[in-house]
C-alpha cells in the first residue's frame, strides 16, 4: 500500500507508521517538499485503507497487495521474496472413473440443457453427447450440465424440477458416466447437490451471496463460479476468495458476459474475453466461458465459443438441444440453445484450432 | 403482448391464436400486406414470449402487461377494465407504540451507523437521534438502522457482530423506543432478525437472491428492499414480486445508486432519482433513497439527500456518526457517514422544503 | 506523478531520474526491499506516463498533477507552493446592457425552444419569458436559447433553419434585450454565430471535436460546453482545456446526463449532479445543468431542475413551449419541453429554495 | 411503425391515419377492447415518432422500418415487396494498381504506426510490411495506416505532424505501392487528405460530427468509419447514413471497443465482436475491427485480432512497431503497438484459420 499525505501533518505520519508496524509491516517514509509518501512493505491486507483515508492530511492510498491472497498468482513469501505460484488444475472425476481436468493446456466441453425438464430430455441429449464424445475422442474432456434449481428474473417463469431434477442427474450419471455440474441457489441445497452431482455451480445472481459462497467452500466439491453481470474483476476475485478461504481452491471461474451501455437487441451482454488473460495473470484458477448466457442467441453462440478458443480458456459451457422441434417444447432460454448438429461443428472447430501453433506471449 | 409475424406463416398464426385462447386471453389478428400482428388482450403473464419467438416466422414480441402484477399500480380487472390501485402505506410500528408510515405525503428518516460495532456506539447515536427527534418533532418519522450481518466485498474486512448485534438492537429498541431496520443476508437469519428487529433489509448484493426474497416474503415483517447495483427497473420490480407473491406487500423499495461508465473517483455510483417517479407510476409501493451508499462520501450525502427531497420520495436512510473522532474508530464505511451536526442540518432542510408548495403533476 | 518500479531495474531508475530532471522536475527516490518508488515534484504534465510504463521493470504510474492546468483550481505555483485559485465569473452581457453572471452565489435561467422553428415561435416564447422575468425580478438572470443548427441522430430529422435561424436570433435580441446562446456544430459556423449570438454552445456530440473546441477558444465569446454522453470527468476537463488554452477561460460547463446500463424507458440518461461538486472542487469554472436533454421527458424536467437547485449549480438550461398545442406542432424533441406554466413554477421553486439557509461544507 | 393508442381517443386515431396516408403509407387499424393499434405499411421514415407520442392517448410507438435506408440490407421495394440487397464490396485501389477489397470472403490487413512521427519511421515499418506481404502472398490484402492529425484526450500530448505527415504518406505510397488510410479530424482537412491518401478515416471522437461525416460523403473517397466509444448500433448506422446520403456508399465500419461498467485496468474497452454479425444482418456495409485501440495493450492485441478472425469480419487494423527499442521512442500510444514479429504470427494465425472449414449459419 502506498499512502500520500500532505505536508504539515506530521502527527498523521507518525500514527500511520505505528499502525503499519503493529501489523508486522514495514513503513518506508519518503519526505518530499509538497507531500510525504509512506510505502508499506509486507502483507498490507490487514490495513484498512478507508480508515487511513479519514486521517487528517491523507490525500489518498493505493493498494498494491492483493485482496485475494489465497488464490493470487503472485504472493510475497517469507523473507519478503516474491513468489509466483503454479496454476491450479481443478479436477472433476466422473462416475466413469475418468477425470475432467480444468488446467493449462486442456479444454473441457460442458454441455446440456438449460434446465432439466424431464428424464427423457436428459437421456436424449446425453445419448447424443455420448456419441459425439466417442466420435471425436473427447470423453475425458466432456461434462454434462443441467439446472434442477433455476433462478428466473420473473417469479412466473419455470423454476426447475428441484429435487426431482437431482434424481434425474443421478440416473444420468449412472447410465452415461459423465460428471455433471448443476447450480445451487441456496445454502440448504448445497448438501444434496454435493451428494448427487460432481460439481456445484454458483450463478451470476449469487455472485456476492457470501453465505452461499462460504457454504460452497465447505462442500468439498469443485465449484463452477460465474461472474456477476456487472462485476469488476477485483470484486469477482475478492468474492472467489470467500470460497477459497474455507479451504476449497477447486474453483473454476466462468465468464458469462457483462452489461454494457451499448448493446442493443442483437445480444444479451458483452462477453469479456480479455478477462481470461487477466485472470491467468492474477490468479492460479482456471477459467471457462459460457457463450450461451452471454450471447442469449443460438446464432451467436458458436462465434463466441470459437473466439474463446483463441484465448487460453480452459473450457466452455454450452446449452444444447436435440433439434428445432425440441426448441419449441422447452421452457427455459429456448433462444440460446444450439442444436446438436451445430455443437458438433463447434467441437470440430475447437479441435482444428488446437492444431494451429500459436503463442502470443508478451515476453518472447 | 403484441406479436409480429412475417407473411406466409399461417400455421404459426393459428398456433399462437390457440395458445392465447388456452390462457384465457383474446387474440386480435391484424392482417397486413407484409406481416401479421396479433394483439393479446387479457392477462398475458402466462404466455412465454421466448417460446413464441422461436416459432417460424415470428419477428418479435412486445410485452405490454406487467410481469409484476401483485405490486403493479395498473391492472386489468374483471370485465377487462383497467383499474388503478391505491398506493400502499407500509407501516412500521415501533416499540414506543408509534407507527412510522412509508406512504404518500410522508417522509421517514432512517438513521444509524453502517455496522453495529458496540453497545456504547449504538447508545450514543440513538441518544443523539432521540434529542433531534424531539427538537424537530419527528419522533414518529424516525427509525434506526444498523447492520449486525455485513456483506463485504472482501472477506478480510469486518463483517459485523452477528447475533451479538441483534442483542444490541433489542436493548436499543427497549431503551429508545424507535423501530429498527437491519439486514438479513441469509435465509436462516430471517427468523431471528424478524424477532428482534422491526423491519428486514434485503441488500443490494442479494437483490436477485430469490430464495432470500421468498423467505422475506414469508416473514410477515415489513421489508426494505434495495436495488441491485446494475438492476434495470423491470428486473427490480420483477424481483420484488417474489416477496409480494408470498403474501407480503409491505415492501419499501430503496434506490441506492447504480453503476455507470462515467463516474470517476468523486462518487461511488450514480443515484437515480428519476426512478422514484417511475416506481410511483408503475407500482403501489413506497420508495426511499440511501444517499450514503449511493455516494460513498460524507461530503455528497447531504446534497443527494436534499435532491431526493425534491422528488416525491417517502424517506431516506442515512449513515451517521457522532463526530470526527468516532469516524476514526469505526470499521465499516467510515468515509460515507455524516456527523450528527450535518444530519441535523439535513433534517432542517427537509422540513423547510416541505413548506414550499410544489406540484409538478404532468396532468395539470 | 508517482512511479513504481520492481527491484533490480537500476538502469530504469537512472533513466527516469534523468528524464524527470530534463523536464525541470525533481525526482525523489525511495528504495524499498521489493520495489523502488520515484515521486516527481513539479509540473509533471510534460512527462509521458504511457512511455514510462513501457520501460523495463516499471509496474505503474499515478498522475497527481492535473492534465488541465489552465482551468484547474489548485496549481503548484512558484517556489513549489500550492495555490488555490479564485473561481471564475463568466459574464454574458446582453443587448439590454445587463450582464448575466455565471458565478458563485448566482443562478442563471436559460430558456427557449429546442430548435428555432420560426420567428413567430421565438417571439411568442420570448414574450412570455419577458413577462416572467419582470414578474419574478430575474431579468438579469435570464437568457434565451434556441438552435439554428441542430445535430440529429438521424439525417432524416429536422436539422434547424441554419443562417435563417441566426437572423431570427438577431431580431429577438433587439426586441427583447435578452442575451442568446446557440449551438455551433462546425468551425465555419463559429464566426457568424459569434457575431449574432451572445454565447456559443458546444454540444454533447462534439465534446471531443478538438478543432471545434479550439475555434471556440479563439472566438472571444463565452462558451457553454456540454459533457459528452459517456464522458468521464477527466476527459471532459481535459477537453475544456483545449478551449482555455486558446486564451478563453469564459467556459461554462453543462452537465446533461450520461449513459447508464440501467435506465429503462422512463428517462433518457442519468443526470450526474455530484459532478457539480467535483467540478467546483477541481476547476475554477462555473457549471450548469440541462434537465431537458438529460431526462428527455417533460414530466421529469422540473424534478431534475429542482434537484440541481439543491446543489451549488450556477444555472440551468430548460426547453420550453407555450402550451400543449404548440407541443404538437414542433419538430424537435417535443417530448421534453415544459409548458410555460410549468416553467413558472420551476422559477418559483428556485426562488423559494434560495431563501432556505443551507451550507453543507465538509470543512465546518 | 406500430402505434398503440388507448381506447376512447378516436380523434387521435383519425389524425394518425391521415398523417400516415399523407406520407404515402398505409395505416392498418386494429380495434381491440382496451386499445387500438395502427400498423403503418410502407416507408415510415418520414413519420415523426416523437411527435406522434405527444398526441392524446398514444401509449407508444415501435419503429420497424430502418432509419438508415441507404445502407440497409433489407428494404421495402416497389409493390411493397421486401428486397434483400447484395453486400457491398468497398474497393480501395493502391498506387501499385492492385485493389484491396473489403468484401464477403476477403480479409484486409491494415497496419502501421499510430501516428506518423518521421519519414524514417514510416519507411522502416513499410519496408518490413512489404517483406511480410511477399512472404505470405498478401500484398493485395495489405494497406498502411498512420495518423497525420491525431485527436488526443489532453491538449498537452503529441498531436501529429499535420500536413508534413501527409507529405510522408505521399512518399511512402510512391515507394511501396500500398494504399494508405489516415484520419481526418476536420472538414478543411478532407480535401488534402483526399488528394494524398487512399482512404479517409473518421475517428471515434467524431462519430457524431455530422458536418465532418457529410464532408466525407462528398469526398468521393472510401471511408473507414469508427464506432463511437459508447455508440449503440442504431446510432452508429444512422450516422453512417449521413455519409451514404451524400452519394458515397464506400463506407467500411470499424468496431473499436465500447465503454463498460466492468472493465478494470486490464483493458481499455470491451471489443464487441457480436456487432459484426449484427452489421452483416442489417446493412450492406463491410466491417473491420481495431484491436489496438480497443484493447490498449500490446499483449491483448493478437488475441482480439484472432478472435475477430473467427467472426466474418472483413479486415483488421493493427498498430505496429519495429521492435521494443522503437516502442521507447514513439510519442503516441506506445503501449498498444505490437512488434513486427508478433504481427507476423498474427498473419500466420489468420491464414491458418482461413483453411478451417467453418459455417455456423443459423439457417442450415
The pLDDT assigned to B154 comes to 84
Give me the sign of the Cα torsion angle D255, D258, D263, D264: positive
Reference C131, options C176, C182, C197, C179; nearest CA is C176
User: Residue B107 has what pLDDT?
Assistant: 97
The rounded average pLDDT for each run of 10 residues, N- to C-terminus, in chain C (364 residues) is 83 90 81 74 74 82 75 75 88 98 96 96 98 98 97 87 97 98 97 98 97 97 97 95 96 95 82 96 96 94 95 97 83 87 96 86 43
Q: Does C64 touch chain A (CB under 8 A)?
A: yes
Provide the mean pLDDT of chain B: 90
The three-class DSSP label of residue D116 is: coil
Asked whether C286 and C78 are in contact (CB, 8 A), the reply is no
Q: Which residue has the higher pLDDT, B318 or D63?
A: B318
- Predicted pLDDT at A33: 61
Q: Kindly report the backbone phi and psi dihedral angles of residue B166, in degrees, each rounded to the nearest multiple of 5, phi listed first.
A: -65, -40
pLDDT, residue A363, reads: 38
pLDDT at B363 over 60: no
A230–C contact, CB cutoff 8 A: yes
Among D114, D102, D136, residue whose Cα is nearest residue D288: D102
Q: What would the mean pLDDT of A88-106 be, rounded to a whole number?
A: 97
Nearest Cα to Cα of residue A141 among A291, A306, A347, A301: A347
Look at B168 and A356; give whichever has higher pLDDT. B168
Q: Is the pLDDT of residue A83 over 90?
A: no
- Comparing alpha-carbon positions, the chain A residue that sits nearest to D298 is A362
Asked whether the beta carbons of residue A258 and residue D261 sit closer than 8 angstroms, the reply is yes
3-state secondary structure chain A: CEEEEECCCHHHHHHHHHHHHHCCCEEEEEECCCEEEEEEECCHHHCCHHHHCCCCCEEEEECCCCCCCCCECEEECHHHCEEECCCCCEEEECCCCCEEEECCCCCEEEEECCECCCHHHHHHHHHHHHHHHHHCCCHHHEEEECECCCCCCCCCCCCCCCHHHHHHHHHHHHHHCCCEEEECCCHHHHHHHHHHCCEEEECHHHCCCHHHHHHHHHCCCCEEEECCCCCCHHHHHHHHHHHHCCCCCCEEEEECCECECCCCCCCCCECCCHHHHHHHHHECCCEEECHHHHHCCCCCHHHHHHHHHHCCCCEEEEEEECCHHHHCCCCCCHHHCEEHHHHHHHHHHHHHHHHCCCCCCCCC
Q: Do C307 and B273 touch (CB under 8 A)?
A: yes
Of C152, C156, C153, C132, whose CA–CA distance to C142 is shortest? C132
What is the C-alpha separation between B64 and B40, in angstroms, rounded? 9
- Chain A contact for B287 (CB, 8 A cutoff): no
Mean pLDDT lowest for which of B10-19, C52-61, D94-103? C52-61
Please check whether residue D27 is in contact with residue D19, taking contact to mean a CB–CB distance below 8 angstroms: no
Q: In sequence order, which residues have a C-beta less than 8 Å from that of residue D22 and are 6 or more positions away? A: none
Task: Say which residue, C34 or B274, is predicted with more confidence.
Answer: B274
User: Averaged over A302-316, what is the pLDDT?
Assistant: 96
Q: The dihedral of CA B304, B306, B310, B311: what is its sign? A: positive
Does the distance separating the beta carbons of A261 and C259 come in below 8 Å?
A: yes
Q: Which of D83, D237, D94 is nearest to D175 (CA)?
A: D94
At the topology level of CATH, where does C90-354 sit? TIM Barrel (3.20.20)
DSSP D147-166: BSS---SSTTS----THHHH
A281 is written with which cell numbers? 495473470
Q: Alpha carbon of D271 to those of C275, D288, D289, D293: distances in Å?
A: 28, 12, 9, 9
Of B198, B327, B210, B320, the closest CA to residue B252 belongs to: B198
Mutate to test the interface with B, among D39, D230, D362 (most CBs of B within 10 A): D39
Please check the confidence at residue A32 and state whether its pLDDT lies above 70. no
Instruction: Give chains near B: 3+ CB pairs under 8 A.
Output: A, C, D
Q: Rounded mean pLDDT of B255-284? A: 90
Q: Which cell numbers in the block locate residue A343?
A: 455443437
Residue A21 falls in which region: left (phi positive, over 0), alpha (psi -120 to 50) or beta: alpha
pLDDT band at A24 (very low <50, low <70, confident <90, very high): confident
In a 10 Å sphere around its CB, with 0-12 CB exposed, 13-18 middle and 19+ buried, how is residue C355 labelled?
A: exposed
Picking from B3, B9, B28 by the largest number of D CB atoms within 10 A of its own CB, the best residue to mutate is B28
Map out the domains of chain C as residue ranges.
2-65, 90-354
Nearest to B30 among D35, D37, D80 (CB): D37
pLDDT at residue D228 is higher than 50: yes
Query: How many angstroms separate the CA atoms of D201 and A326, rounded?
Result: 47
Mean pLDDT of D316-337: 87
A279-308 pLDDT, tens digit each: 999 999 999 999 999 999 999 999 999 999
Residue C167 region by backbone torsions, left for phi larger than 0, else alpha for psi between -120 and 50, else beta: alpha
Q: What is the pLDDT of residues D116-157, one digit of tens each?
A: 999 999 999 999 999 999 999 999 999 999 999 999 988 888
Check: CB of residue A3 under 8 Å from CB of residue A36: no
The Cα–Cα gap between A80 and A116 comes to 51
The answer to whether the CB atoms of A51 and B210 lie below 8 A apart is: no
Q: Above 90 in pLDDT, residue A326?
A: no
**D182 — contact with chain C (CB < 8 Å)?**
no
Specify the fold of D90-355: TIM Barrel (3.20.20)
Q: In 3D, which of B287, B283, B274, B284 has the Cα closest to residue B234?
A: B283
Range D160-168 contact pairs with CB under 8 angstroms and sequence separation of 24 or more: D160/D115, D160/D116, D161/D115, D161/D116, D161/D117, D163/D192, D165/D115, D165/D116, D166/D192, D166/D193, D166/D196, D166/D197, D167/D196, D168/D116, D168/D118, D168/D119, D168/D122
CB B176 within 8 A of CB B105: no
Q: Which of B151, C176, B125 is nearest to A210 (CA)?
A: B151
CB-based contact C132:C343 (threshold 8 Å): yes
**C315, C108 Cβ separation under 8 angstroms:** yes
How many Å lie between the alpha carbon of B259 and the closest alpha carbon of chain A? 8
Size of interface C-D (CB pairs under 8 A): 102
Question: Tell me, what DSSP letter sits at residue D198?
Answer: S
Dump pLDDT digits (tens) for A132-191: 999 999 999 999 999 999 999 888 788 999 999 999 999 999 999 999 999 999 999 999
β-bridge pairing D82-84 and D90-93: unpaired
Q: Which other chains touch chain C, taking contact as 3+ CB pairs less than 8 Å apart?
A: A, B, D
Q: Kindly state the cell numbers that stand for C170.
A: 438577431
Q: What is the pLDDT of residue B238?
A: 95
Q: How far is D157 from chain C (nearest CA, A)?
A: 8
- The confidence band for D49, taking pLDDT boundaries of 50, 70 and 90, is confident
Task: Provide the chain A residues 89-148 that lie in CB contact (below 8 A) with chain D.
Answer: none
Q: Name residues 342-361 of chain C within 8 A of B (Cβ).
A: 342, 345, 349, 352-353, 356, 358-360
Tell me the chain C residues in contact with residue B324 when contact means C-beta distances shorter than 8 Å.
Answer: none
pLDDT at D322 over 80: yes
Q: Is the pLDDT of residue D33 over 70?
A: no
8 A C-beta contact, residue D259 and residue D230: yes
* Rounded distance between C-alpha atoms, residue D46 and residue D42, angstroms: 10
Q: Are C3 and C53 in contact (CB under 8 A)?
A: no
Looking at CA atoms only, how far is residue C345 from chain D in angstroms? 22
Tell whether A339 is within 8 A of chain B (Cβ). no
Grid cell locating B201: 433489509
* CB spacing of B50 vs A333 below 8 angstroms: yes
User: Which pairing describes strands B82-84 and B74-76: parallel, antiparallel, or unpaired?
Assistant: antiparallel
Q: The CATH number of D2-65 is which of 3.40.50.150, 3.30.70.1140, 3.30.2400.10, 3.40.50.1820?
A: 3.30.70.1140
Q: Decide if B2-65 and B90-355 have a common fold.
A: no
- b/e per residue A293-323 (b: at least 16 CB within 10 A): bbbbbbbbbbbbbbbbbbbbbbbbbbbbbbe
CA A25 – CA A3 distance, rounded (Å) = 14
Cα A262 to Cα D233: distance, rounded to the nearest angstrom: 7
This prediction's pTM: 0.92
Which DSSP helix (H) or strand (E) runs through B18?
Answer: helix B10-22
What number is the average pLDDT over the span B307-323?
95
Locate D105 and state its grid cell: 470472403
Task: Provide the pLDDT confidence category of residue A77 given band limits of 50, 70 and 90.
Answer: low
Its sign, for the CA torsion B90, B94, B96, B102, is negative
CB spacing of B154 vs A238 below 8 angstroms: yes
pLDDT in tens, B172-217: 999 999 999 999 999 999 999 999 999 999 999 999 999 999 999 9
Within an 8 Å CB–CB cutoff, is residue B26 touching chain D? yes
Tell the burial category of C361 from Cβ atoms under 10 Å away from its Cβ (0-12, 13-18, 19+): exposed
Question: Running DSSP on this structure, what letter comes out for residue B136?
Answer: T
Q: Which of A233, A259, A270 faces D266 most closely, judged by CB atoms?
A: A233
Pick from C218, C313, C214, C310: nearest CA to C256: C313
Percent of chain A with pLDDT over 90: 68
Give the mean model confidence (pLDDT) for residues D254-274: 88
The cell for D163 is: 500536413
Q: Which of C174, C176, C225, C177 is closest to C199 using CA atoms? A: C225
How far is D7 from chain B, CA to nearest CA, in Å? Answer: 11
The better pLDDT of the pair B3, A31 is held by B3
Nearest CA in chain B to C232: B262
Question: Among A50-59, A87-96, C312-321, D222-231, which stretch is predicted with the lowest mean pLDDT?
Answer: A50-59
Q: Does A261 touch chain C (CB under 8 A)?
A: yes
Amino acid at each position: 500500500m502506498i499512502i500520500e499525505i500532505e505536508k504539515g501533518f506530521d502527527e498523521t505520519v507518525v500514527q500511520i507508521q505505528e499502525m503499519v508496524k503493529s501489523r508486522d509491516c514495514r513503513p518506508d517514509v519518503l519526505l518530499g517538499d509538497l507531500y510525504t509518501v509512506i510505502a508499506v512493505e509486507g502483507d498490507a491486507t490487514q490495513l484498512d485503507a478507508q480508515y487511513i483515508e479519514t486521517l487528517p492530511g491523507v490525500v489518498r492510498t493505493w493498494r498494491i497487495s492483493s485482496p485475494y491472497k489465497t488464490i493470487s498468482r503472485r504472493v510475497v513469501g517469507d523473507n519478503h521474496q516474491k513468489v509466483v505460484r503454479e496454476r491450479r488444475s481443478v479436477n472433476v472425476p466422473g462416475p466413469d472413473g475418468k477425470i475432467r481436468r480444468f488446467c493449462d493446456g486442456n479444454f473441457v466441453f460442458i454441455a446440456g440443457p438449460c434446465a432439466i425438464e424431464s428424464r427423457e430430455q436428459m437421456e436424449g441429449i446425453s445419448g447424443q453427447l455420448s456419441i459425439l464424445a466417442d466420435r471425436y475422442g473427447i470423453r475425458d474432456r466432456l461434462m454434462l450440465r443441467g439446472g434442477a434449481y433455476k433462478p428466473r428474473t420473473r417469479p412466473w417463469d419455470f423454476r426447475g424440477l428441484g429435487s426431482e431434477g437431482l434424481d434425474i442427474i443421478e440416473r444420468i450419471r449412472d447410465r452415461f458416466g459423465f460428471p455433471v455440474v448443476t447450480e445451487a441457489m441456496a445454502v440448504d441445497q448445497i448438501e444434496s447437490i454435493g451428494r448427487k452431482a460432481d460439481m456445484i455451480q454458483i450463478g451470476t445472481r449469487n455472485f456476492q451471496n457470501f453465505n452461499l459462497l462460504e457454504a460452497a467452500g465447505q462442500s468439498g466439491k469443485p465449484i463452477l463460479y460465474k461472474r456477476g453481470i456487472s462485476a469488476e474483476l477485483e470484486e469477482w476475485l475478492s468474492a472467489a476468495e470467500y470460497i477459497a478461504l474455507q479451504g476449497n481452491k477447486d474453483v473454476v471461474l466462468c465468464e458469462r458476459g457483462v452489461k454494457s451501455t451499448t448493446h442493443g437487441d442483437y445480444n444479451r451482454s458483452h462477453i469479456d474475453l480479455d478477462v481470461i488473460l487477466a485472470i491467468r495473470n492474477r490468479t492460479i484458477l482456471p477459467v471457462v466461458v459460457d457463450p450461451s448466457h452471454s450471447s442469449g442467441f443460438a446464432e451467436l453462440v458458436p462465434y463466441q465459443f470459437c473466439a474463446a478458443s483463441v484465448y487460453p480458456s480452459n473450457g466452455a459451457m454450452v446449452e444444447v438441444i436435440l433439434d428445432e422441434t425440441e426448441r419449441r417444447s422447452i421452457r427455459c432460454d429456448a433462444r440460446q440453445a444450439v442444436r446438436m448438429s451445430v455443437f458438433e461443428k463447434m467441437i470440430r472447430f475447437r479441435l482444428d484450432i488446437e492444431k494451429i501453433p500459436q503463442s502470443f506471449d508478451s515476453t518472447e
